């Protein structure tokens, strides 16, 4: 295709001198004016062509008018390698490696909006350098069950936290003239039967739990695209859903961007025309069903749509609306002459990945101050576990990447400690020895001839005289673990890892550190036997460096959990009430969200007999923080007013560190049942030893409101409210109250 400026020149050469610059190419004109000018020049066939894909990851523009193609790319954690025109396998380029940034669970665990902005800006620069128009992410689906294979791509269980973190991410990406495509809208909370699950959920739960992060993405982040989810809601697939796309997204939230189908998410031409889908990708060519000749011309929004218009069965009003949205996307991205050039695999991007990873690692337990490691000359450190060496950037589904480099945890530990200590490695267990996804291979040989018993015996033998034993295990990106299109079969660690940890604890209980690499909560039957536990997530290219930074104390851990770690799967409401199915079926499957608002800490807060393994918001530091008594500037608040809550935080330890101060609001009495408390604010502050600072939160009507399904509006009822200042959802440090008049 000729470049835009070349085609524009041909058009201008044929035009009268006074009208040489078409309005749609004149970027001094308002975008809406340019859209209407371009739309008026297009033929019916050109409009239809713009509403569906032409290849696996692109849709056509209008070459005749100099309107470029739309090129999309996975994913939310790094820019996917180039693939063949109509296949998932890579195209074999040698210049399409990327930096893998931490998975979004890790970003959420930073509880730091500055990190979200840095993440988005860095990722957007890599996408822009590769000349992409749309990044297919981020994901903000709510963590409803720890079995969901795709939780690692999302931002946890709380809608406020997810919304607060997604907005700066979006603004960072889009500052590069690259659109985010926030996914998966909506109610995509597990992977098994994702194409045929019909979610049945009450309006209040929908609006209070599953929609707020998407609303924040639209109204605060200003995302230019949204991806529909695979599942159904109200018996309509969410890629063309009248209620979620029409009534909520467009009418209530005022979204002016493009709705893109998930790949193969469209199922019906009439619904695709009338129910809000703008741009269709993936049907018939994504492996969901057999391919067909000229497959892209047979999409639901392709020849079938054109035929309906020609027969007079539908008009062109809906088509023009779709094309307007697509043109608006193009003018914001590919035809934005002011967007920067971007950069790929830069030192700055690796530094960003390492910093975000270090801030997201959560210190779950640290009895006796075992961490940070105090390594003396001549020390011996034993590292055990397959996840210490296995590459985690390949696999897991559409977020799989081809990286320029990936520092393994073992290599990071060696780099940091080898000048003083001998670093010994033992496998401990065998998980998944494969290392390939869509033609990208790790090149690692993880084959193993020893039995499980011998692997444990060898690790124990080495542990007996080691100064420190670091077990690095958890999940991986294989099917039925942290992976798209499959869910976990249970909460426990796979591959017999519990037996390895317990055997190590018997000989090195006071010297044992467990580093869990996963995007999900896992059961820890050995939790009382292990003094130090880190939750390390999938950190990407800089995984080994970030983990070593925290183990050594070069970085003081400051991450906090973005979701609850349950002690047992039977403690999770989605499983207590029986509305989850891990068995694949062909027919449409109704899944009722009978847990309602009781997701994560909203449920555990009410339990007296059961406690979580680790609570939402939990995370320790190598220093200590003391909270003063919170104070409020008024004991009363009007409906159109606000109150300010202030608390003093002091670093009482001997290390500089960061603390995440959390603010929850509780309604003492309301006409509808409400959670005991809900997160409505957080601040991350950095303090030197002995330093104090004041943290303030403003609480307004929005923070006090619940969704009334009968009135279909947010309601703040007069009465007494409590504000909790906390270090975690189960660690409240102070409370103040006021009355809403």
| Residues catalogued as catalytic | 262
Query: Mind giving me the DSSP string for 629-681?
Result: --EES-SEE-TT-EEEEEEEEEE-SSS-EEEEEEEEEEESS-SS---S-EEEE
Q: Per DSSP, what are the bridge partners of residue 67? A: 62
Which residue in the block uniquely carries the two structure tokens 């209530």?
A: 252
Helix (H, G, I), strand (E, B) or coil at 364: strand
Q: Where are the alpha helices (DSSP H) in 384-541?
A: 409-417, 452-463, 497-508
Q: Contact 632/643 with Cβ under 8 angstroms?
A: yes
Please count the other Cβ atoms lying within 10 Å of the Cβ belonging to residue 446: 16
Of 454, 293, 465, 323, which Cα lies nearest the Cα of 39?
323
Query: Mind giving me the DSSP string for 368-420?
Result: GG-PSP-PPTTEEEEEE-GGGTS--SS-SSTT---BS----HHHHHHHHHTTT
533, containing H or E segment = strand 532-535
Helix (H, G, I), strand (E, B) or coil at 718: coil
d(C-alpha 733, C-alpha 659), whole Å: 13
The pair of three-digit structure tokens given for residue 634, joined into one six-digit string? 């008024």
d(C-alpha 521, C-alpha 523), whole Å: 7
Q: What angle do CA 251, 255, 260 make, to 5 degrees?
A: 110
d(C-alpha 48, C-alpha 222), whole Å: 27
Helix (H, G, I), strand (E, B) or coil at 85: coil
β-pair type (719-728, 731-740): antiparallel
Q: Where are the alpha helices (DSSP H) in 201-264?
A: 203-205, 212-219
Q: Contact 509/528 with Cβ under 8 angstroms?
A: no
């Amino acid at each position: 295709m000729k470049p835009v400026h070349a085609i524009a020149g041909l058009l201008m050469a044929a035009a009268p001198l006074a009208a040489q610059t078409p309005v749609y190419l004149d970027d001094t004109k308002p975008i809406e004016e340019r859209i209407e000018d371009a739309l008026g020049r297009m033929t019916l066939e050109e409009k239809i062509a713009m509403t569906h894909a032409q290849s696996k990851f692109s849709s056509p523009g209008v070459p005749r008018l100099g309107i470029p193609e739309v090129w999309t790319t996975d994913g939310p954690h790094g820019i996917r390698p180039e693939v063949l025109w109509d296949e998932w396998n890579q195209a074999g380029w040698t210049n399409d490696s990327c930096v893998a940034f931490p998975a979004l669970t890790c970003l959420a665990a930073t509880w730091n909006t500055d990190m979200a902005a840095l993440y988005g800006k860095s990722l957007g620069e890599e996408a822009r350098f590769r000349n992409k128009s749309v990044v297919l992410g981020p994901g903000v689906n709510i963590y409803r069950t720890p079995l969901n294979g795709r939780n690692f791509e999302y931002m946890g269980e709380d809608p406020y936290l997810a919304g607060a973190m997604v907005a700066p991410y979006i603004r960072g990406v889009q500052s590069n003239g690259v659109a985010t495509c926030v996914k998966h809208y909506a109610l995509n909370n597990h992977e098994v039967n994702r194409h045929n699950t019909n979610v049945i959920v009450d309006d209040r739960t929908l609006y209070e739990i599953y929609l707020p992060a998407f609303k924040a993405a639209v109204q605060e982040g200003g995302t230019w695209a949204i991806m529909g989810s695979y599942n159904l809601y109200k018996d309509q697939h969410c890629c063309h859903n009248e209620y979620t796309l029409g009534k909520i997204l467009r009418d209530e939230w005022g979204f002016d961007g493009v709705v893109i189908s998930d790949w193969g998410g469209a199922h019906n031409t009439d619904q695709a025309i009338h129910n809000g889908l703008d741009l269709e990708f993936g049907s018939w060519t994504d492996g969901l069903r057999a391919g067909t000749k000229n497959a892209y011309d047979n999409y639901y929004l392709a020849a079938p749509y054109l035929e309906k218009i020609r027969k007079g069965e539908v008009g062109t009003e809906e088509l023009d609306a779709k094309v307007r949205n697509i043109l608006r996307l193009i003018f914001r991205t590919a035809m934005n002459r002011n967007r920067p050039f971007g950069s790929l695999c830069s030192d700055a991007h690796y530094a960003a990945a390492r910093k975000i990873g270090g801030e997201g690692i959560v210190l779950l337990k640290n009895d006796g101050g075992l961490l940070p490691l105090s390594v003396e000359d001549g020390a011996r450190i034993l590292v055990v576990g397959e996840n210490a060496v296995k590459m985690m950037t390949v696999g897991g589904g559409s977020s799989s990447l081809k990286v320029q480099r990936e520092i393994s945890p073992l290599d990071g530990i060696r780099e940091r400690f080898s000048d003083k200590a001998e670093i010994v490695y033992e496998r401990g267990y065998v998980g998944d020895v494969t290392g390939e996804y869509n033609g990208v291979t790790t090149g690692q040989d993880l084959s193993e001839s020893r039995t499980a018993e011998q692997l444990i015996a060898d690790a124990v033998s080495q542990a007996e005289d080691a100064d420190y034993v670091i077990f690095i295990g958890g999940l991986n990106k294989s099917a039925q673990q942290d992976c798209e299109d499959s869910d976990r079969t249970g909460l426990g660690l796979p591959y017999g890892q519990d037996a390895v940890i317990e055997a190590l604890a018997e000989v090195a209980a006071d010297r044992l550190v467990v580093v869990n690499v996963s995007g999900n909560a896992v059961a820890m039957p050995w939790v009382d036997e292990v003094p130090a536990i880190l939750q390390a997530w999938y950190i990407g290219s800089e995984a080994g460096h970030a983990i070593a930074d925290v183990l050594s104390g070069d970085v003081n851990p400051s991450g906090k959990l973005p979701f609850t770690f349950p002690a047992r799967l039977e403690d999770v409401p989605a499983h207590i009430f029986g509305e989850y199915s891990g068995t694949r079926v062909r027919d449409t499957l109704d899944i009722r969200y009978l847990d309602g608002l009781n997701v994560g800490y909203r449920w555990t807060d009410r339990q007296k007999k059961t406690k979580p393994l680790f609570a939402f918001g939990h995370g320790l530091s190598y220093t200590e923080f003391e909270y003063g008594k919170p104070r409020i500037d008024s004991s009363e608040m009007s409906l159109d007013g606000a109150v300010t809550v202030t608390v003093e935080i002091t670093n009482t330890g001997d290390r500089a560190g960061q603390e995440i101060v959390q603010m929850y609001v509780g309604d003492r009495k309301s006409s509808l049942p409400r959670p005991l408390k809900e997160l409505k604010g957080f601040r991350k502050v950095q303090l030197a030893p002995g330093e104090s600072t004041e943290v303030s939160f403003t609480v307004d009507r929005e923070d006090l409101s619940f969704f009334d399904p009968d009135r279909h509006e947010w309601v703040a009822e007069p009465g007494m409210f409590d504000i909790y200042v906390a270090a975690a959802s189960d660690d409240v440090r102070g409370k103040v109250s006021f009355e809403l008049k």
